[in-house]
Structures are given as structure tokens and as C-alpha cells.
Chain A
């Protein structure tokens, strides 16, 4: 970049062309006050506080937006400048209530700071004052436009970072006011309550309802940590006062989300201090829970476990680990299962979401994780193929970045049976029938091969199995596939051309691909497409499964799976077995253990006698929960370790009170394989204990002492036997974390996998054929039921439904039904209906909407009282053992 010579406050400088005066001043340590300026946003030049004097310019100019020119001479604090700033500030203050004494934002108010700096007690201008009613009608944000200084930061953040463009201005002159959509209350507008506007508001115009009256800036202890919700792994600051989380605030110091957060991350933390939290271990006696000391509860479990191990053997145990818990805890629990209980029967909810990702991508590439990074796919892709991912609702911060890329010209193709939010901005929305992904993907490849548009060099040099693929996909002409998928042939052709002609294209998928009996094959098919297009191992490309839970990647990495030790080291390999036998000083089983659904079935048959479940809720999350209940009830002992008395915990014999993310330290690994440190913010609630400590104590009671003093020590132990984490330790983890593989202490981590060479050598094409879902609609059950989630809730709802804001904005479950079907069945909007499958039935409110296609119903699985998983089927994918949660046959009836 060319350099320019300028003079600022007498200093001669050589500066980059294109810099603003403010950029230069900041770099030089010259102070220029600002107000409407925000470092994450484009300059607005609205407040006139940053005015500076430039020689040969007639008027003062705003430093935030004025670009430097050759030989420019700038003065930043002449009397003229200072007076102009003071008048501008005085004018702003003339219409601002001086109620700092009771304002929640005092101490963190940029206007207050400037008034202090300029010594303005009250305004010299006595004129009209705005008098707006305070808007407290939504559950999250208080809007007081009397305090608004019209800096427009909220508008800019909504447009530039959230990319939602909800906010703007109405009227003009003195009557100018910030509005949402058509000047609607936020809850009636297109606002999705990310709260980014609150984060950037320099004054008290936008404040957090939950924090109103709860304390002010100087009273808070700020702890930087990782969000406990989705796999994006956003970082933020918890603001703590008196051992209570008062609010979450943005902290831009990170590589994942900068200042952005979603509604759950910013507002969904109040479950932590919720009165329902378990505060002590509980033992069930005569059908009722009684509080017990830790010693008593752990002794109870230990005695029972020892007895079962002696009589029934090790494989009578099954353990569910937790994608919500830390890497350290998952490592310990799988070690406990393998080394102490003596079985490989350990699994966790990844089985229900991304088991096919692990098996499928390992088959195709040699490594079962997201190949690229959030940063490169959201800034370098020319096109996106999003299939089976409700990205803007389920991984909101990745969603907003894709929205931005699309606004800046990237082409987006969405394949989803439902009109998910992100489909609204897609160039083409391929609305295929549930369970027809392979046909659709094969057809796209059919067109690409027919048109000779595949990456011949890549396929030739870096892959194998192309001829078989070519032969198979030749059977999937767009015309034929139109009949299978319901997607017009011309849309398939158009999409294929866009994908082939825009390189790199990033493929993004989630549960829509995996939760099928052909989940493993679906993943292989996604891998096929990206290899065919040569989009692997390059920035902006890749096959990118978005992982659901905050630490589901980590729980898999740690070996909370029945077939692998930490780092995906197979339990069936003799070498691995002896390595871990030596390391843990025990004998280990060489046969892989049972998966989630298999464990339940075996419990039902009486083969599993004891289950230990940490931070999972199969009574809501697993398919066919009536069956799950019977299985869990057949156990001799069920131990549940959780923070709430979940539907599953209610069935337990012993409940152990673990802690939330805010009460412990350790690490989470996000969807892009980034290992991040979380920091303890408050003491454990009541008599609860960090989960890792509970495991250590129980293990010790079972005769295998685990004497860890800290999570740091646990990670060091894990890293020493886990090559992909080999170089990772707590000491190395700053706010940016490290992405595995990171084999040694000097290794910087790996942003993109398979660069130049796949983990397995050559990428492997696998020709796959369309496989219809296990249960198709028939006369008795004429609808397809597909399940999913909404932005406001999380998984089985244990956390979000205990968040006041989230449960107010989205209080109850609904079944989405197309208007065409509703009309035929005479179902009215908001009417309670009955949805029935071969496995059970629920009563639920109808929501008539075009979002779902005719013949298809949609229900979320967040609500235990109208649980979609009473209806779902437990048919399994043969390879990955994931149940087909996305498709089953149901009927819908009026009550």
C-alpha cells in the first residue's frame, strides 16, 4: 500500500493511504474523543465530537471518517477544535436526561465520560426535550429513546454485523427516532434479539432488562469464558456480582465471534442461578428423593457398582458422557468407564447428531471433523451449499457471517425440506422431500459430470474411486430425481452450474444430513460432491458439518465413544489397547462397546444392569422415549449427574449435583476443532461439585484412585496419549484457543484439514444409492414428521426453558403444518391437535405455515410435555448407529 506524508500535531509521519485521521492518531497515541464511532463499525460522522482542524480546509472535519491526504497538516487540539467539540457535546446533552445517578449504564456511559472530560454539568441550550414512553414490552431489551443520541451504532451493527437490517430511523430533524421495521415493538418486528445493538449503544438508550437495577459497571467482576450453548463456541464476559451472573457482555478479544452473540448466548444465562438447580446429591428412597451427603451418595453407588461388576461382569455397565461437559470431564469419564468399570460401553449424544460425520468423513478423508474454519468459510467462499442446516437459527453467529458474505455477493444454495430462515436469502432453495438427500446430491454430480465441469486435476491427483461414482451418478438425471425429491429438474441443473462455476464453494451441513438411516451414506455423498469440485483443502471450501453442542466435538475427540480411545485411536487395535493398558495400568476390553440406542435396548432386555448418565437427557432427546423409559426403568441402578432434575434424572436412583459452565474451568472444543479455555466465574451452587471432581471421587471409592488437583493436570495427562491434542495445554490457550491437530508444543494448530494431502492419503469417492427412509407415510399415518430446533431454545430445554427471557419469547411447542393440509383437515391456527405415530402420541398446538411443505409436519424436541421424540423412530443407520430422527410417519387429528 502506498505511503503518504502528513503532519499531525507537529509530528511528521509516513502513513498508509486510505487511513482515516483517527486511525493515524490512535496508532500514534494521540487522543481524539469519539462518540458515534465504534471500532467494529463503519464511521458515521454523526456526533461531531471527533472534529479536527486541517490546514487549508475551510471547516473542521470528523477524524473518524476523513481520510489522510499527501502533505496534510492536522491539528487535533486547537482552541477552535476544543470549542467545536464542546458545543457539539453540549447540543447532545441538551436533549439528554441527566439522571446518571439512577442510570444502569453509569460508569460505562461514553456520554457521561465526555461530559466529565469537558466539564459539562448541564446544557447551556434550553430547548425542546424529547418525551418518549420507555419501551419495556419485550423480554430482553429496554428501549429509552429519551437517552438516545442518534449515533446510529445500533443501526450499523444490525446491518454490518448481524446483517439483519431491522433498525433504521424515522422522521427528520428533532423528531428523528430509531425504529425497528415499521416502527414496531421489537417483539413484533423481524428482530431476533441478538442484542448486538445493546452491546454497542454508548449510552443508556438500550439496556438489558435482566440487568436492570442489578448493579453498575464498577461492581462487576468480569470473567471471560466460552458460551455453553452451540458448537460455534463464542467467547464473552460474564459479569458477576455477589456470586450471581448479572449479565453477559461482548468481549471482542477472540477469533470466533468478535462482539457478536446470539439471543441464547447473550440472554440465556439465568439458568445458572435458577432456584431449580440441584444443590446436593439425592438418593431415592421409597420412590422419593432425599438429600444425601457426597460420601453417602458415592458410597451407595460404589457398593452397588462393585456388586454388579462382581456378579454380572463389566459389560453390565453403560455410561453416557456429555457433550455439554468439558474435555477434561469427558476424558475422565471414558477413562473411568474403560479402566474402572472395565467396559467400552460409553457413548454420548453425538450418536444422535454427528455420528455419521465421524464415520463418513473418516472413510472419505481419514478424519471425521469439520475440514475448514469459520473464518475462512465465511470470508473466502464464493458460493455456499447449505444442506440440512438451519444455520441462522442453530449456529447463529456462523449464520450472520454467511448472511454477510451473501450480501457481499457470495451465492447461496440451500437444500432443505423446510423453509428455514437462511433459505429466504438463498439464490435457489431446493425444497426436497425429507430423506432424499442422496438422490439430490447424486443428481447435482450427474449434471456436473455431464457438463464436464468437475475438477479433473484434483480428481486425478488426489482421489480414488471416481469411475464407480461416475457410473452410479449417471443413473440420477435431474428429470428422474425430480420425481424422487420433488425438486424441479431445472433448479437442480441451475444449482449444479452455480456450484461448479464458483470456486471455492463451501459445503455446510448439519442434522438434516445425518439423522437418517442413510446418515453415513449422506455424509459420503457430501464428501463426493466437494472432492468432485476440487473444493477440499482450500480456504473457503471444505465439507463443514456444524456441530451442535458446545463440546460435542471435544466429547468425541476425548473418546467418549464405544469404539475409540481419545484422539480416535481404535479400541480394536492391539497397539492402542496395550498403550492405554500400560498408561492406565489396567486390562482393557478389545471389543467396541454399545452405542446410545443399543445400550437402551440392552437395558430393556436386562443385559445392562447399571447406567451412569452425565449431563444428558435421553428421556427427551432420544427417539421413541416411551421405549427409553421402559429400558431405564428396568435397570438395577441408574445414576444421573446433572444440574437440574431432568426428565431422565427423575428416573434415577441416585442424582449427583454437577455444576454449570460458569462454576468450573476446563476446555471446550468448538465445531472448527478450536480448543478453548473456560474460566470459573462463580463458586459451585449449594453443595454441588464440578463434574470432574465427582468422577475422581467415585473412581477412588471404586478402588482406582484419581487424584487430580486441577483440570489442567487432566488435560496434560490426556494430551500425552492423544496425538491430535499432543501440543495443547492450558498454558498455551489464550483467548484465541488452538485448533487440532496440534501434535507438539511448537505446532500452531491446524485451520484447514487435508491441504495438499488427505489424512488417509487419497480422498475416497464412494458411490452411494438413494435409500428411502425406514418408515414412509401410508394410509394410517399419512404425514412425514421431521424434527428440529428453534433459535430461542436449546436441545431438551433444561437450560433455556429456565431462562426467563427465552421462555417468555418462545413459551410452548407447536406443530408446523402447511395451510393446504390444515384446510383439508379443518385444523385452525393455534388449535390443540393430536399427533400420533406407531410409538406414541402427543397433544400440541398447531401452527399453520408455509414453512413446511404439504404432507410434512415439523415439531421441535425442546419441550418434554409435548415431546416430538415420543413419536420418532429408533431405526438405526447401519454404520454409524444414528437413529432416523428426521423422518417417521405420523397422523394428525383434531381432539
Chain B
């Protein structure tokens, strides 16, 4: 906690904006706990609702701790057309969770996102920050097996 407060203090002093501070804190902690958001509000003299509003506006920010592996499946227009819906179903069945959730053992967090800018490779997903091209159900099952 103290080291996080130090980061917030330093960034705030050098007039960094709210979004970079949230990004940096999330990098450190993996998510943004409410008490940290509260500290950010107070240090930056921003209303609580504003910090919470910005945090929930951007899909990159998380209020809950995230699993060890982050599966971000694209359901943007191109991926959708190329059958990402089926892959969503495969993942949900395999992991036993719905999109937006984390497995109980904290192994996986599954998110559906809208366009990661790799439409040429659709359907695609970003898994632990790495873009996986041309996904199929069997391909994703194999990856999930390997990560388990």
C-alpha cells in the first residue's frame, strides 16, 4: 500500500493525469481496489465519482483482481463476422465462467473486447498481451490446456 501511495504522490506532483496514474497502479497491483481509488481521489482532489467514472469508462481498467492469465477475445465487427461468437461459447464452457469473470482458482480472466486493431488476423484474441491470430475452437482449447 505504501509503495502505491508513493507512486500516486510522485505522479500527482509531476502533474500526471488520472489515466496514466490508474494505468501505473493497475500495472503494479493487477487491478484497482476501491480504497486505492479513494486515495487517488483524495490526493488529486477529484471527486470520488469522477475517479470511479473514468475507471469504469475504459475497459482497460479492472476493479476486481484478475486471473493469472488474461484472455481478451475480440468481438469487433471483423471478428464477429468471422465467428468469434462460437469461440466465446467454447471458452465459457471450457473455463466454466461467463465473459467478464475470473475462474475461482484465479487462473483465468475472460473478457470480450471490441477490436484490438488486428482485423486482418480475425478472429483474434489477446492472451496475456500477445495477439493470437486466426483462432478456431480447437486452437483456443489447446492454448487454454497449455496455460492450465
Contacts and interface: CB of A to CB of B under 8 A. Distances in A.
Nearest to B56: A170
Given A171-B57, A172-B57, A179-B53, A165 B34 contact: no
Interface in B40-88: 47-50, 52-53, 56-57
Contacts of B52: 168, 170, 179, 181-183
A182 B34 contact: yes
B144 to A, nearest CB: 28
Interface string B24-52: 00000000001001100000000111101
B146 to A, nearest CB: 34
Given A182-B34, A182-B37, A166 B47 contact: yes
Contacts of A166: 47-49
Nearest to A183: B52
Nearest to A167: B49
A791 interface: no
Nearest to A179: B49
Interface residues on B, range: 10 to 19
Contact of B53 (A159, A169, A190): A169
A168 B57 contact: no
Contact of A168 (B34, B37, B38, B47): B47
B47 A171 contact: no
A806 interface: no
Nearest to A190: B48
A181 B49 contact: yes
Contacts of B37: 182
A167 B47 CA distance: 9
Contacts of B47: 159, 165-166, 168, 181
A165 B47 CA distance: 6
B116 to A, nearest CB: 18
Interface residues on A, range: 10 to 19
A107 to B, nearest CB: 31
Contacts of A182: 34, 37-38, 48-49, 52
Contacts of B34: 182
B19 to A, nearest CB: 14
A479 B76 CA distance: 68
B12 to A, nearest CB: 18
B48 to A, nearest CB: 4
A171 B53 CA distance: 7
Contacts of B38: 182
A180 interface: yes
Nearest to B48: A181
Nearest to B45: A425
A170 B63 CA distance: 13
Contacts of B56: 170-172
Nearest to A170: B56
Nearest to A159: B47
Nearest to A178: B49
Contacts of A179: 49, 52-53
A180 B49 contact: yes
Interface string A726-745: 00000000000000000000
A853 to B, nearest CB: 21
Question: For the complex, would chain B's binding face be called helix, strand, loop or mixed by DSSP majority?
Answer: helix
A170 B47 CA distance: 13
Nearest to B53: A168
B18 to A, nearest CB: 13
B75 to A, nearest CB: 14
Interface in A134-183: 159, 165-172, 179-183
Interface string A447-460: 00000000000000
A220 to B, nearest CB: 33
A168 B52 CA distance: 9
Contacts of B50: 165, 168
B56 to A, nearest CB: 4
Contacts of A168: 47, 49-50, 52-53
Nearest to A165: B47
Nearest to A172: B57
A196 to B, nearest CB: 15
Contacts of A181: 47-49, 52
A398 B50 CA distance: 25
Contacts of B49: 165-170, 179-182
A580 B50 CA distance: 63
Contacts of B53: 168-170, 179
Contacts of B57: 170-172
B64 to A, nearest CB: 13
Contacts of A189: 48
> Which residue among B34, B49, B50, B52 has the maximum number of chain A CB atoms within 10 Å of its CB?
B49
A183 B57 CA distance: 13
A189 B49 CA distance: 10
Nearest to A189: B48
Contacts of B48: 166, 181-182, 189-190
Nearest to A184: B48
A672 to B, nearest CB: 31
Contacts of A170: 49, 52-53, 56-57
Contacts of A180: 49
A183 B56 CA distance: 11
Contacts of A159: 47
A204 to B, nearest CB: 22
A159 B50 CA distance: 11
A685 B48 CA distance: 46
Nearest to A171: B56
A165 B46 CA distance: 9
Nearest to B55: A170
A168 B50 CA distance: 6
A165 B45 CA distance: 11
A182 B37 CA distance: 9
Interface string B106-118: 0000000000000
A183 B34 CA distance: 11
A180 B57 CA distance: 15
A182 B49 CA distance: 6
Contacts of A183: 52
Interface in A177-205: 179-183, 189-190
Nearest to A168: B49
A170 B48 CA distance: 11
Nearest to B59: A172
A688 to B, nearest CB: 46
A171 B52 CA distance: 9
A379 to B, nearest CB: 23
A70 to B, nearest CB: 37
A806 B49 CA distance: 25
Q: Which 10 A-B pairs have the closest CB atoms?
A: A168-B49, A165-B47, A181-B48, A170-B56, A168-B53, A182-B52, A172-B57, A171-B56, A169-B53, A182-B34
9 contacts: A165-B47, A166-B47, A168-B53, A170-B49, A171-B57, A179-B52, A179-B53, A181-B49, A182-B49
Interface of B: 34, 37-38, 47-50, 52-53, 56-57
Given A168-B53, A183-B52, 8 more contacts: A168-B52, A169-B53, A170-B53, A170-B56, A179-B49, A181-B49, A182-B52, A190-B48
Interface of A: 159, 165-172, 179-183, 189-190
